[in-house]
Amino acid sequence: MNIFLPPPYNILYARRLHKTVRRLVPDSDVRFLLSESGSGKGAALVTAVAYRLAEQHRQIEETLEEFQLSKEQLLEVKKRMRIEMEAGLRKKTHQSAKVKMLPTFVRSTPDGSENGDFLALDLGGTNFRVLLVKIRSGKRRMVEMHNKIYAIPVDVMQGTGEELFDHIVHCISDFLDYMGIKGARLPMGFTFSFPCVQTSLDAGMLLTWTKGFKATDCEGEDVVLLLREGIKRREEFELDVVAVVNDTVGTMMTCAYEDPNCEIGLIVGTGSNACYMEETKNIEMVEGDKGRMCVNMEWGAFGDNGCLDEIRTVYDKAVDELSLNSGKQRYEKMISGMYLGEIVRNILIDFTKRGFLFRGHISEALKTRSIFETKFLSQIESDRLALLQVRVILQQLGLDGTCDDSIIVKQVCGAVSKRAAQLCGAGMAAVVDKIRENRGLDHLDITVGVDGTLYKLHPHFSKIMHQTVKDLAPKCDVTFLLSEDGSGKGAALITAVACRLREAEQS
């Protein structure tokens, strides 16, 4: 560093100063420069720098203000979610509705009498897994799980549907060998976390891939049929595929097994989605008007008709345009793990271009898509983390900055994740209030089963979301219950409930 010495200079004094400073900080390279008329020019410079910083500060605040939603705006989001929900439920509007409100044919949550051994398949999360789930009822009531994780190479994920399902069946085969249960013909639940139109518990037509999947010849097809055909092609083992399950529904069922008040499922992980128990009479796409059925909202697509455009920023639009499914899943892209880091990166690029960050230099790292993963938001926003550690995280990403840069980055992360949590809360407020009105209640006590790494690991997301639901739906007391492996255990529970009902019907 440089230290400027103002006149008049005393040589002896200066020498002593140099020596002392070097002894005090031997690791630093300090040079002493003589300045001319420091006090006059310096004061002017300090003032100019202060002005520039204040102006920068103002512009940063102004940009981040776009991410701060007022209570009125959040209530409007809640209201529009409710409108979209109604549109999805009505026959007349279902076709064009963006929030699809898909019937799942799950009509009951577990009652504890479920029993048996079940297979589950979990596709659509970060990991593809095959599971064996042993459920015991009565006094020895328990759930025991064994699972194995398999990789799905990107070329399979984005290859042909037949390749994808051959790969899946290959993994099942490996798992059955591994567990020594190949001859058993067990009932299976297939957790398939993509939007499907279901006509029964065991039929689901894929509407559209999301979250990075792109295999051909699958959209418009029944994925249970694709799985059964894959099993047939292999001619090696048989399975009884009983249910196709959305991960939100699995999450709800897993939590309902512990808490009968749980009638909502929520995911905030790679993507975001929710399901809840709706009155069958309100689901016009399904015959009958007795009882309730779980509806997979597919709420990630909220806003795809433009109804959220007023609150979407240029950064949201940039993230959307660079994604695999541009124009789709607009709400999800403002909330979930696959996108929050990208929103932050786009803001950082803009701030750098405007000279507020990284000395105006856009590094290769900053240009790299997905470099800023959402887990870094969690780290950077952690209250226990000192600013210096934020700087280290950024350096590890290849983003060399000053401490001032770190402050700004932390501010950006906070703004993006807070908005995500509030938007998610506004959606949830719409759901709980609808359930309350469905039941004609002044007050509703209800539990939401939640899964997803962003919800679980972000230091503030859950708290902000809970508070938002409280503020926007004051007539509901909402408990949030973390689900333990909703997509694995839940699929098995749905299969178990279905088998129980089937047996009851046959006897």
Provide the binding-site residues for ligand ADP, judged by CB under 6 A.
125-126, 269-270, 337-338, 373-375, 378, 452-454, 457-458
Q: Which does 270 bind (CB under 5 to 8 A by kind): ligand ADP, Mg ion, none?
A: ligand ADP
Using the minimum distance from each CB to Mg ion, give the nearer residue, 195 or 269.
269
β-sheet bridge partners, residue 149: 129
CB 430 within 8 A of CB 85: yes
Q: Please classify residue 453 by burial: count the beta carbons closer than 10 Å to its beta carbon, then call 0-12 exposed, 13-18 middle and 19+ buried.
A: middle
Q: Taking the complex as a whole, how short is the minimal distance between the CB of residue 89 and ligand ADP, in angstroms?
A: 26
Q: Taking the complex as a whole, how short is the minimal distance between the CB of residue 101 and ligand ADP, in angstroms?
A: 21
Letter for the amino acid at 354?
A: R
Q: Which two tokens stand for residue 178?
A: 């591994």
Reported in sequence order, the residue ranges of 345-443 that DSSP labels E, i.e. its strands, are none
CB 498 within 8 A of CB 490: no
Beta strands 272-279; 292-296: pairing state: antiparallel
Find the part of the chain contacting Mg ion (CB under 5 A) among 124-132, 142-150, 374-382, 411-419. 124-132
Sequence-separated (6 or more) residues with CB below 8 Å from residue 251 = 265, 266, 267, 449, 450, 451, 483, 486, 487, 490
Helix (H, G, I), strand (E, B) or coil at 192: strand
Name the residue with the smallest CB distance to Mg ion. Answer: 125
By CB under 5 A, the count of residues binding Mg ion is: 2
Q: Which does 453 bind (CB under 5 to 8 A by kind): Mg ion, ligand ADP, none?
A: ligand ADP
Using the minimum distance from each CB to ligand ADP, give the nearer residue, 35 or 453.
453
- 247 flagged as catalytic: yes
Q: Which does 427 bind (CB under 5 to 8 A by kind): ligand ADP, Mg ion, none?
A: none
Distance set, CA 22 to CA 15, 88, 279, 445 (Å): 11, 72, 77, 68
Given 80, 107, 122, 129, the catalytic residue:
129
- 222 flagged as catalytic: no
Please give the residues from 375 up to 434 whose contact with Mg ion meets the rule CB under 5 A: none
Query: For the residues of 159-193, what is the DSSP string, one character each?
Result: SBHHHHHHHHHHHHHHHHHHHT-TTS--EEEEEE-
3-state helix, strand, coil in the chain (%, to 5): 50, 20, 30
Compose the 248-277 pattern: x for residues touching Mg ion by CB under 5 A, - for all others: ---------------------x--------
Dist. CA 494–CA 249, nearest whole Å: 9
Using the minimum distance from each CB to ligand ADP, give the nearer residue, 75 or 457.
457
Q: Which does 375 bind (CB under 5 to 8 A by kind): ligand ADP, Mg ion, none?
A: ligand ADP
Q: Taking the complex as a whole, how short is the minimal distance between the CB of residue 408 and ligand ADP, in angstroms?
A: 20
Name the residue with the smallest CB distance to ligand ADP. Answer: 269
Using the minimum distance from each CB to ligand ADP, give the nearer residue, 109 or 270.
270
Letter for the amino acid at 172?
A: I
Using the minimum distance from each CB to Mg ion, give the nearer residue, 171 or 499.
171
Dist. CA 364–CA 206, nearest whole Å: 38
Nearest partner of 88 among 334, 307, 319, 242, judged by Cα: 307
Dist. CA 333–CA 343, nearest whole Å: 9
Helix (H, G, I), strand (E, B) or coil at 505: helix
Using the minimum distance from each CB to ligand ADP, give the nearer residue, 187 or 488.
488
CB 217 within 8 A of CB 160: yes
Instruction: Work out whether 125 is an interface residue with Mg ion (CB under 5 A).
Output: yes
Q: Which does 282 bind (CB under 5 to 8 A by kind): ligand ADP, Mg ion, none?
A: none
Sequence-separated (6 or more) residues with CB below 8 Å from residue 4 = 32, 33, 34, 35, 38, 42
At residue 199, what are phi and psi to the nearest 5 degrees? -110, -10
Dist. CA 435–CA 264, nearest whole Å: 10
Using the minimum distance from each CB to ligand ADP, give the nearer residue, 223 or 231.
223
Q: Taking the complex as a whole, how short is the minimal distance between the CB of residue 487 and Mg ion, in angstroms?
A: 5
Using the minimum distance from each CB to Mg ion, give the nearer residue, 114 or 122.
122
Dist. CA 300–CA 274, nearest whole Å: 9
Q: Which does 457 bind (CB under 5 to 8 A by kind): Mg ion, ligand ADP, none?
A: ligand ADP
Given 247, 320, 433, 485, the catalytic residue:
247
Q: Taking the complex as a whole, how short is the minimal distance between the CB of residue 453 and ligand ADP, in angstroms?
A: 3
Q: Taking the complex as a whole, how short is the minimal distance between the CB of residue 432 and ligand ADP, in angstroms?
A: 22
Q: Which does 338 bind (CB under 5 to 8 A by kind): Mg ion, ligand ADP, none?
A: ligand ADP
Q: Taking the complex as a whole, how short is the minimal distance between the CB of residue 247 and Mg ion, in angstroms?
A: 5
Q: Taking the complex as a whole, how short is the minimal distance between the CB of residue 249 and Mg ion, in angstroms?
A: 12
Find the part of the chain contacting Mg ion (CB under 5 A) among 121-129, 322-330, 379-387, 439-447. 121-129
Using the minimum distance from each CB to ligand ADP, give the nearer residue, 339 or 358.
339
Q: Which does 449 bind (CB under 5 to 8 A by kind): Mg ion, ligand ADP, none?
A: none
CB 429 within 8 A of CB 472: yes
Distance set, CA 12 to CA 9, 16, 25 (Å): 9, 6, 20
Q: Which does 189 bind (CB under 5 to 8 A by kind): Mg ion, ligand ADP, none?
A: none
Dist. CA 171–CA 106, nearest whole Å: 27
Q: Taking the complex as a whole, how short is the minimal distance between the CB of residue 338 and ligand ADP, in angstroms?
A: 5
Given 80, 107, 122, 193, the catalytic residue:
193
Catalogue the active-site residues.
Answer: 129, 193, 247
Q: Which positions lie near Mg ion, rule CB under 5 A?
A: 125, 269
